[in-house]
Amino acid sequence: MAKSLPLAHLSGISASQHEWPVLLECASPKCDAVKLNELLRSADWTRLLLLVQKHGMVGHLAAHLHELDRDLVPRE
């Protein structure tokens, strides 16, 4: 089973101000890949991954990874 990430990094909503729009776009029935690419330019991937895990959205983000600019997705 996958190991959970610690939630200590999600100390406040304002700390994830760039990551929430990414989460909402991924949840949209008509996710816009261009918009998602733009949103990810200012997102912190550590916070984003913690947020999507906390809200059960890992599958939604994963489903859109193939549409993203490869330079935006960290290799780790």
Total structural domains within the chain? 1
67 within a domain of the structure (yes/no): yes
Tokens (6 digits) for 48: 């984003």
50 within a domain of the structure (yes/no): yes
Q: Assign residue 56 a region: left if phi > 0, alpha if psi is -120 to 50, beta otherwise?
A: left
- Contacts with 23 (C-beta within 8 Å, 6 or more apart), sequence order: 48, 51, 52, 55, 57, 61
Each residue's pLDDT tens digit, 2-32: 565 555 555 555 557 899 999 999 999 999 9
10 within a domain of the structure (yes/no): no
Task: Identify the domain containing residue 58 by its residue range.
Answer: 16-71
Question: Closest by alpha carbon to 35, among 47, 26, 45?
Answer: 26
Tokens (6 digits) for 74: 């960290």
Each residue's pLDDT tens digit, 30-57: 999 899 999 999 999 899 999 999 999 9
